[in-house]
Amino acid sequence: MAWGEWMVPKPGPEHLLTLEQQRRAIAAYDLGRAQDMLLKLCQLTMHQDLILRSATRHIAALECEAALRD
């Protein structure tokens, strides 16, 4: 696997089906419920972003250490 290749997502059919199911459910939301979901999505996105940034830095450090050993 090439450097950073693990960071390129390749969604499978099951992921696309889940996304379509979620799209249809969201289409049925009223404005108040949609706003609540949007706030939760913003919080989740921030949390996941922080985790991914930390994990990416850690993995990059491990890859650099491995490259320097070779």
Q: Are 11 and 20 in contact (CB under 8 A)?
A: no
Please indicate, yes or no, whether the overall pTM of this predicted structure exceeds 0.75. Answer: no
Q: How far is CA 49 from CA 1, 7, 44, 45, in A?
A: 24, 13, 8, 6
Q: What is the pLDDT of residues 16-32, one digit of tens each?
A: 999 999 999 999 999 99
Q: What is the pLDDT of residues 6-19, one digit of tens each?
A: 778 889 999 999 99
